[in-house]
Amino acid sequence: MKSNLYTVYDTVAEEGGPIFQARNHAVALRNFRAMFNREDVTANIAEFRLYWVGEFNDEELKIRPVEPREEVLSDLGTTAPFGAPVGAGG
């Protein structure tokens, strides 16, 4: 079965990671938002971007990068229709 690979890019630190798996963009968005809805998290969600960076096939143990990477979410008010890019990753 294939799953998507995502990473969260920190615009302040100018780095991404770690990479995580999700079945689709909707699940990745839910997981991304959940990271910031915990009481022990004080980070500003506007400083982070969610990117779809690849696919993983768990039967063949193969990773296929998504080129160009796709920005799934740039802030809580801006989401792409599933499968449609919001903007090019920089």
For residue range 20-75, what is the model confidence (pLDDT) as tens digits? 999 999 999 999 988 888 777 777 888 899 999 999 999 999 999 999 888 997 55
Place of tokens 């969610």: 50
Could you give the 3-state DSSP secondary structure of residue 33? helix
pTM over 0.85: no
pLDDT at residue 2 tops 50: yes
Contact status, residue 23 vs residue 29, Cβ threshold 8 Å? no
